[in-house]
Structures are given as C-alpha cells and as structure tokens.
Structure 1
Amino acid sequence: MSTNNSSTELHSKVPQLRKQMKDGALSRREFVRFAALLGVGAGAAYSMAGLPSPAFADDQANMPFPPDDPNAQSGGVLKVAMQVQKMEDPATYSWVEMSNQTRHILEHLTMTGPDNVTRPMLAERWEASDDLKTWTFYLRKGVKWNNGDDFTTEDVKFNFERWMNPDLGSSNVGLSSIAALMEEKDGKKVMRDGAIEVIDDHTIRFHLSKAVLSFPEDMYNYPTALVHRSFKPPFSDNAIGTGPFTLVENTVGDRCILKRVEGIEYWGGKVYLDEIHYYNFDEDNQLTTFAGGDVDAIYEFGVEQMELAKALDGNIIAARTAQTLCCRFQVTEKPFDDKRVRQAIVKAVDNALIKELVYPEGGDVGENQHVAPIHPEYFKLPPLVRDVDAAKALLAEAGYPDGLELTIDVGNTDGPWHQTVAEAMRDQLKDAGITLNVNVMPASKYWEIWDKTPFGATAWTHRPLGTMVLSLGYRTGVPWNETKYSNPEWDKALDEAEATLDVEKRRALMENIEKVLQDDAVMVQPICRPVYTIASKAVHGYPAHPTQYHQFNKVWKAS
C-alpha cells in the first residue's frame, strides 16, 4: 500500500519509478507526478527527485494552496470579467466558467496544480493497492460545511452514487476511475455492488474492476466538485459548500456575487478577500472592460488582442495547455458515416498552416487525435501532410466525384478564433471540391446543440492526461462522446494504457491509440492553444492554470 505524508511505507511501484528516473527513462517532473498519484506527499516527491517544491503549493503543510503571504493585505473585493452562467447541478456542468463560480464554494477530494501534480484537498491522503484496483481515501478531520455539518464519508459516497445514476447523465461516468466502479445491468451502466466501502466517518475505499492510475487526478475534473448530502438542484438555490465563500447572488448573464463565510473556521487556512464578484462579459469584451478599469482581472483574452494587452498596465499571464478546438464529425450521420469522406476532409486541411494563421506565437499543431504534446503520455506521430489529390480520390470513391457541400456549426465559445479556423478550413477544402458553409451562432445556442450537430466546432478544455480526455470524449457510449465514435478494441487499448505505470510502455501503447483515432478521422484538430489572461498589478497570487480553473483562496489586493 502507499501513503501520503503520514507514513514511511511507500507504494511498491515507487522504487520502480525511482529506477526509471535514475536510468533516464523518466524525467524528474514525471517522477514527481507519478509518485504523488501513488500516494507520496508532493513535497516528499519533489525532494526525492531533487527538485525545489513550487511556490504555489504549501507541500510541507499538506495543503494544495500556496503558503500564507506575510505581505498580504486582508479585505477587499476582487472583480473579474467572465461569462456568468447558471449554477444548476455541478455533476452535469459543461463549462469551466460555471465551475469557477462554484469552485470557491464547493471543493474536491484532490487538486491538480499548474505543475500537473495532484495533491490532497478534502482528502488528507490516499492509498493505492499494488494492482491499482483498490483506492482508499482518508478525509481531513474538522472540515465543516457552511451550514455547520461535518464533512464525512457519507457526503463522498452520496456524490459517487449520484454520478453513477444513469438518470443524471453526468460526464463523470466517462472518467476511467468512475467507469471502473460500474457494470452493465439491464441495458444500463450502474454502480457495481460493493464498489464503495465506507470504513468510518473519514475513511472510504473504492473497489475498481480494472487498474486505474489516474484516480486522484480524475477527482479534480470540474464536474467532480462535492455537494452536501442533502443536495437537490439547482445549486444556486441552496449553495452549501466546504469552501471559504458562499453565494449571495447569481444573475445569469449579469453578475455572480460571492462572500466569505463567517462563523466557521475554514480548514484551508487564511483567506484574504472579503468578496469575489464575477461580471458577465464575453471573451472578446473582457480585455476592453479591464482597460476601462471596471474589473481587476479577466477570464481570458484572445491572441488577436495581445497588442492591446501589452499596452495596458497589468500583468499578462500565459500558460501552455492542451486546450483545443475539435471540428468533429458525428460518424453515425451521413455523409460522415463513410470514413472515406471524413478522411478526404482531413487530408484536404493543413493543420500547421491554420495554427500559424491563428496562433503564430504559441501553441502546438493539433494532430487530429486529441492528445497534446504537453500531456505526459503523448507519443509523437509523423507530421500530417496535406494531400488534395488523395482527398479528391477518396471523395470519388465514396460517390462524390463532383465534390460535396457541408455545413459546420460554430459557436465562438472561446472567442472569434473558432470562426477564423472554420473559415481557413473552408478556403482549403475548396481545392478538394468541398464547399463548406460556416454557420456562426451565439455561444449559448451552440452549447445547446454541441453534442447533436453532425459537424460542429467544439472547444475542449485542458486535462492533465491525454488518457483522461480520450476517456471522456471517445469511449463507447459515454455522455460527452459527441462524435458517436465506437471502437471496442480501441476502448480496450485505452484501458491497458491507463493501467500501465511504466512510462515507456505507456507511450508505446499510446502510439497505437493515437494512430487509430487519427486514421479513423473523427475530427480536424488544428491547434492546441495557449491561454492568456491579465490581472491588475494590485492583485497578487492570481493563478495561472492551464484549465483556467479559478482558485482564489490566497489571492489578495493591495490597497
């Protein structure tokens, strides 16, 4: 068994990881990440690797947050420009923005930092069995809900049971750790008998049907925020949480007001801000709002606004990410049910050229398989080469010798660069005889049909693992499988990769997984993009997270 912080006993696989690091097969940062997943405290893992522990985490105090800033000033209101969205049911959230509004109220078992290392949050530590099929989580003692109730394993059990309820439709069932707690019964996937074992008020054990290394990382996916055992939607009507803030007002499309909880000692230590105010602005207007002095920080600005951002008196924060735009096909709908049509579209597009057009100064070229170079298990495939003649031949073979006409739905949910990508595709596809109509719609309307449109441009946020996003988006039958792709052999290969600790073996398995998805041509994915935000110089500790998660526990404002 492995432990986090409180025991000297190491997981049996940690010596194997140390040997791989010593032999050069595993980088020191990869060692830290894997060791932390296996239950080694993050600070201890950094020490084993001979690396300094990051300033944004208080590893020695077993906290996921930065240590207290001796220069910090208490009080004040942080005003942030971001889309203000409904707060219905955290388990079914599909936008990072609504999770940001909620993240200051609800918390997670774990927290994955900008360094891609997962630390305890509401859990104090965890243990994994040698075969990675049994995971035991030990909860922090003394954690209170803001209604005065104790946080216990009954709350955790309640959440897991909710996620696995087939009537809820939570995307969490696409996570490998949750899927391994379920079974097929009467045509539905439901929780297996005996999958969850409550040991006591602060100890809970999960019995998985397969080995999963990423269980702790899965617990910081944004729909895994833990609600009170009395929860009934909408969350905005009864916002009981363990976090340092509570909800005062949420007016969709206008404002979300959060106020620091009083009368209950917060388990996470000092919190400096009195209030957090989110004001509704779309991405293309957030920077101009900041320029006018109406807000202290923003959610993001687009690359096309970089010169304006540089001219402003603020701190630009950039992060390399796996955030991407998938111009994806539903493989069950005509004409995309013919793989030759999909392959023709993919071959007629030059991803590298589109990337340079849209993000010339940052980001990575997408490879049409959704695993990004920043992911630790990424296997570099041969570069994609545009081949218009091959595209025409495939179209003719599929019964379209004179070309065909298509429409892609675009919501610009991350800004107007989505439309730029689609229009660049349109221009390139003309050479292969394909007419592409670009249907631009409001972001809110796109999210109503994102998983229904036969051809749509969908933004996917960053996940720390490529296997995590593949499980969420492409496994047979999972809620977020917008392509309707189904390949049981591919599913099994993904299972094997997720259960493989040896990094070289894992990457070797990923080569086939990435190649099969790429060859099946379920998407055009031109870019893995960086993200940019900006904060006033009076704001300290504003986090740079590749997933754009807001965790403002240690943010403060100078007067």
Structure 2
Amino acid sequence: MNSYIPERLKARYQSGKMSRRTFMQTLLSSGMTFTAATMVADQALAAAPKRGGTFRLGKGHGQTTDTMNPGTAENGYMVNLLQSFHGYMTEVAPDGSLAPGIAESWEASPDGKTWSFNLRQGTTFHNGKSVSPEDVIASVNQHRGEDSTSAAKPLVAAVTDIAADGPNRVVFQLDSGNADFPFVLSDYHIPIGLSEVGAVDWNTGIGCGAYKLDNFEPGVRSDLSRYDGHWDLANRAFFDSAEMLAITDTNARTSAMVAGDLDAIDRLDLKTVERIKQVPGITVHSIPGTQHFTFEMMCTSDPYTNVDLRLALKYAIDRQELVDKILFGYGVIGNDHPIGQGQRFFNKDLPQREYDPDKAKFHLKKAGFDSIDINLSASDAAFAGSVDAAVLYQNSASKAGIKIKPVREPNDGYWTDVWNVKPFVAVYWGGRPVEDQMFSTAYQSGVPWNGTRWSNVRFDELLIAARAELDEDKRRTMYYEMQELLSNDGGLIAPMFASYVFGTRDNVVTPAQLGSNWDMDGERCIERWSFA
C-alpha cells in the first residue's frame, strides 16, 4: 500500500477545497484499499485546524517608542504584528519559497528590469475598500525618495517608476535587473496600506491582512480580531482573536506560559530550556534559520576606523564558547558575515575565523596599541544572554590585551538610543530570505540600518552587479566575494547563528513545517496556528 500523501493534497482536503469523495478517489487511485483510504481521510480531517478561541502571545520584544510606521519597525514584536493585520504583495512560505499574496502572479522582462504584478481580485481593506494599484503605488512610494527614513529605502532604491496597467496590474521599472525583486516586496517593512490622495496614513491601523488591529499600546500590548472579508480564510486566521503582549523580561514571560496565562512565547531562556521541556503541557520548538547574534563596531568612530583593530576584536572572541554557553548548542558558529549555512549563496570556501589571541595581539600591535580599553553595550533587548556574552568576550579578549567593559543598557529604548547610536553594541538580526535583501538593508554604503557605518566601494559595485546577474554561477562568485570583504574588512562581528527556540502550550496546534525566515513560524504564528 502506498501511504504517502502529498501535503498539498491533504491541505486542500482539510481546507474544504477538495470534497471527501474526490480525496477518497485520489487515495484509491494510488493503490490504497478502501479501508485504508477511509482511515487516512478521517485522520486528515481530525488534524485539520479548528476555528475559535483567543490566542495569547508573549513576545520578548517591543518598546514604548514603537509606531505604526512599518518603515521604522525594527523588532520581532512589530514584525509579527505588522504581518498579522497588513497584507503584502508576496510572502515567504514555510519552506522558504516565495508565495503569492496580494499579487497572485508576476512576470519579468528578459533583462529583469521590468516586473509586472497581477493583483488578486476581491482583496479588501478592513473598511471594505478594494485594494487597487493606487494603494500599491502609494505604499511603495513612501519608502522611496531622498526624505525617506524607511529601512526599506535601499530595497526599493532601484525602482525608477511604478505605474498602473489597468485596474488589477502594477508595473515596476528598475534601473537595473533584479532577479529577486518579488522577494523584496515580501519584506515586512513594505505592506500595502490604504491610500488617500496618493499617500498612506499608517496611524489609522487599517490593513488588508487576515486580522484587524483593534488596539495598539506601544511596548505593552496589541489586540486583534479575525477579518471575515480576507481572501484566504480557508488556510489562515483560525483564531477568533489574538492578544500580543510585550514582555522583555525572560523569567516573567516564561512564568506566564508555565502558569497557563500565555499560549506561546518566543526567546526561551536557553539556560533553563531543558527544564522547561519537562513541564507538562508545554512543547519546545527549535528551528534553525538565518538569525544571528552579533557585535557591531561603528567604522566611522575611533578606534574602529582602523581595520587592524577590527580584526583584533574578531580574533579575540571565542565563538564556540558562545555557542556552548549562550546558545547551549542551539546554533552554530558564525564567520563575521550575515549569510547562513543553509542559504543559496553561502560561502563555504571562506576559511572559518577561529579564536586566536596571538593573531589578535598581532593586529592590535599593527593598529598601534599594546592594550586598549573598550566599552561594549548590551541588553536582553539585543538578544537573551547578550550581557553574559559580553562578559565571556571580556574574558577571552583579555588574553590579547583588549580590556572590554560590558555596559548593561536598558531594554526599553535600546533600538532608538543605543543601536545605531553608540559605537560598539550587541545586535540580533533575523536575516533575510535572499542575500541581496540582507546586504542591501544593513551593509550597503549609507543605508539607514548600516549600524557599522562600513563603506566599501568594491562591495557596493558587487551588490548592484549580483542583483542584476541572472547566471547563477556568476552570482555565486560575486556573493562569495562580498562575504569575504565583509568578514575581513567590515565592522561586523558575527560569532553565532542562533536557532529560533520558542514554546507553545499543548492546546496550540502548529503546522508540520514551520517557517525559518523569522522566529515563530516566520512571525506569522497568529495567522498560521490554531487551537486543538
């Protein structure tokens, strides 16, 4: 008997898009007996997501300075919230592929400079208005232009024109080819908002996602309820409503889930995760992805202007010790660039930088120092255990004559008052599904989120060339060189890639495959999960 059932077939049956009769006929045609097919059909239906209930989610992010402007959102709380009530042209599927969203299909010109997107008919905002090409144009345009402060500005910088081509089609013109442009429009900073006179007022909180935003208290909580007019309710939005709480204190967040006050939390304390696994009624999930924990040096601020000083700091960190003692094995060592081992153009040929106090001393001496005192800002807002990581770094660097002083910063306001402001700080990055997005967001010269202030002419040239190159082997060569340039010259210390480790109570049903592009199923847990 052939017992393999394609997931897409099962999903169509579970969502009601395929009748039981058709499902049974398909199973029988595969060689199953009638009894076996009946059992499979019953089991598939029993496993189908159920509707109802209020999902209570605790996030280890969020601050009082958060706003509804998606262009300035910079933490996991806002990523999850924005993706819950906003709609996007495209979205990253759990398997890492690109899936349709508001755009149901798209095509490119042979040179990759013209992209045409066909909008899904019947898509509406929460006030009932249909999503139009004008909404798409206004939404993307708010990230463009010299006055834009959006983190997505470098992602859409190549766009020279956006125009409607009929009532359900939008055409983007780029100044150069971009083989990954549809991925750009999945970025959480670029939702499609309701436009008025060519502009979007994000403060209205009106989106076109699977949930409506009923309440938003920055750094505290948000409340959402299912939007019954969404185009894809057969496959998402199984909860009637959701409560999102910002709880940056790890112990408080964990205690709330253990007590049953929360249904799920992110950023489990890896020191105690094995004990949490023993708590009845709780499931711990560990998903490898592109998330990386880093220390960023501002290359425009002394002493970090000196590349040898930067190399000294890179050789002075014990990466394996951090993976063992901070991640407790839930991750792998990094090589001072942001591309993960599972990504398409990861440079597997780049020699892994190891902890080497002698090399650190060599580069420190070459930079003109026998010893040096350095402050390193850290906070749990950066990543859980970042202060402990800074202390471990202090110990390993001391053997090279580098005296690091860990500075514990407040959680609230960390992303506005510390990161991108102070010269040496702890930072977490969720990564991006394609290399161009990550490099364009954080390492291209002059972009708003380039916290290292690193600028490299060759890197910028390769970034533009690789984006337009359609030959996979040529693109790989370019991305390999970019990783090498950043690792050897940049202001980024990326010692570890961390798995996403989060917890759910047993009343929560998660899909068989969870997204790894962000924490908690690509930060789409509210729309993808359900109650048992």
Shorter-chain TM band = 0.7 to 0.9
CA distances 1:408-445 after superposition (whole Å, capped 9, x unpaired): 11122254321222111111110111110101112223
> CA separation in 2, counterparts of 1:556 and 1:388?
51
Change (3 A) 1:54 1:339: farther
- Greater mean deviation of Cα atoms: 248-257 or 478-487: 248-257
| TM-score of the two chains, using structure 2 as the length reference | 0.86
Partner residue in 2 for 1:544: 514
Is the deviation greater in 497-506 or in 339-348?
497-506
Identify the range of structure 1 (476-485 vs 90-99) with the bigger mean alpha-carbon deviation: 90-99
Change (3 A) 1:522 1:554: closer
- Structure 2: segments with no counterpart, 5+ residues: 18-43
| Paired residues of 1:318 and 1:544 also in contact (CA < 8 A) | no
* Alpha-carbon distance in 2 for matches of 1:277, 1:208: 40
Partner AA of 2:238 in structure 1:
Y
Deviations 1:296-320 (A, max 9, x none): 1113313223113211222222210
- Partners in 2 of 1:111 and 1:283 — Cα distance? 31
How far the C-alpha of 1:52 sits from its partner, in A, is: 5.3
Within the candidate set 443, 446, 451, 2:420 is matched to 451
Letter in 1 for 2:261: D
Does the 8 Å CA contact 1:154/1:201 hold for their aligned counterparts? no
1:524 aligned counterpart, secondary structure: strand
Matched, 1:256 2:218: no
Q: How far apart are 1:398 and its partner, in Å?
A: 2.3
State yes or no: 1:378 paired with 2:356: no
Gap change, CA 1:316 and 1:52, over 3 Å in 2 = same
Write the distance in 2 (CA, Å) between the matches of 1:281 and 1:337: 37
Question: Residues 134-533 of structure 1 correspond to what in structure 2 (within 5 A)?
Answer: 134-175=114-155, 178-181=156-159, 192=160, 195-230=161-196, 235=203, 238-261=204-227, 265-270=229-234, 271-282=237-248, 284=250, 285-312=252-279, 313-380=281-348, 381-401=350-370, 403-448=371-416, 449-533=418-502
Whether the 8 Å contact between 2:284 and 2:503 is mirrored in structure 1 is yes
Structure 2 residue identity aligned to 1:461: G
CA spacing shift, 1:420–1:275, aligned 2, 3 Å: same
- Which residue of structure 2 lines up, in the alignment, with residue 105 of structure 1? 85
Aligned to 1:122: 102
Q: CA deviation at 1:322?
A: 1.3
Whether the 8 Å contact between 2:288 and 2:331 is mirrored in structure 1 is yes
Number of matched pairs: 486
Q: Which amino acid aligns with 1:319?
A: I
Corresponding residue SS for 1:200: coil
* Inter-CA distance 454–368: structure 2 relative to 1 (3 Å threshold): same
Give the partner amino acid of 1:87. Answer: T
1:107/1:226 contact within 8 Å kept: yes
Structure 2 CA distance, aligned partners of 1:473 and 1:204?
28
CA distance in 2, matches of 1:555, 1:372: 26
User: Is there any run of 5+ residues in structure 1 with no aligned partner, and where?
Assistant: 1-50, 182-191
- CA–CA distance in 1 between the matches of 2:14 and 2:168? 22
Paired amino acid for 2:515 = H
Cα 1:58–1:168 shift into 2, 3 Å: farther
Q: Check the 8 A contact 1:170/1:479 in 2, yes or no.
A: yes
Q: Which residue number corresponds to residue 32 of structure 2?
A: none
How many angstroms apart in 2 are the aligned matches of 1:56 and 1:470? 38
Distance 2:420 2:382 in 1: 17
Letter in 1 for 2:139: N
Query: Amino acid of the residue matched to residue 309 of structure 1?
Result: I
Q: Answer whether contact 2:383 2:427 (CA < 8 A) is retained.
A: no
- Residue 555 (structure 1) aligned with residue 529 (structure 2): yes
* CA distance in structure 2 between the aligned counterparts of 1:373 and 1:112, rounded to whole angstroms: 18
What is the distance in 2 between the residues matched to 1:74 and 1:550?
Answer: 16
Question: How many angstroms does 1:201 deviate by?
Answer: 1.8
Change (3 A) 1:212 1:242: same
Q: 1:152 Cα shift?
A: 0.6
Kindly tell me: are residues 364 and 58 of structure 1, through their superposed partners in 2, closer, same or farther at Cα, counting changes over 3 Å?
farther
Give the C-alpha shift of residue 544 in structure 1: 3.1
Amino acid at match of 2:262: V
What per-residue deviation string (whole Å, max 9, x for no partner) do you get for residues 162-198 of structure 1?
11033230011222xx1211xxxxxxxxxx3xx1121
Tell me the distance in 2 between the aligned counterparts of 1:315 and 1:501. Answer: 43
Check the 8 A contact 1:286/1:300 in 2, yes or no. Answer: no
**2:10, 2:137 → 1: CA distance?**
30
Residue aligning to 1:80: 57
Distance 1:172 1:120, change over 3 A: same
Is the contact made by 1:346 and 1:521 (CA closer than 8 Å) also made in structure 2?
no
Deviation of 1:232 (Å) = 5.5
> Which residue identity is paired with 1:287?
T
Residue identity opposite 2:435 in structure 1 = G
Is the contact made by 1:84 and 1:278 (CA closer than 8 Å) also made in structure 2?
Answer: no
Identity %: 24
CA 1:110–1:514 in 2, change beyond 3 Å: closer, same or farther? same
Q: Cα distance 1:60–1:511, how it changes in 2: closer, same or farther (>3 A)?
A: farther
Moved more, 530-539 or 505-514: 505-514
* Contact 2:238-2:529 within 8 A present in 1 as well: yes
Partner of 1:19: none
Q: Is 2:454–2:490's contact at 8 Å kept on the other side of the alignment?
A: no
**Deviation (angstroms), 1:54:** 6.0
**1:202 CA displacement:** 0.9
The answer to whether the 8 A contact 1:326-1:524 is kept is yes
The letter of the residue matching 2:224 is L
Q: Specify the code of the residue in structure 1 equivalent to 2:128.
A: G
The equivalent of 2:37 in structure 1 is none
Amino acid at match of 1:340: D
User: Secondary structure of 2:293's match?
Assistant: strand
Structure 2 SS opposite 1:143: coil
Amino acid at match of 2:397: L
Q: C-alpha separation between the residues in 2 aligned to 1:492 and 1:135?
A: 23
Q: 2-side partners of 1:56 and 1:425: how far apart?
A: 49
Distance between the aligned counterparts of 2:225 and 2:100, measured in 1?
A: 25
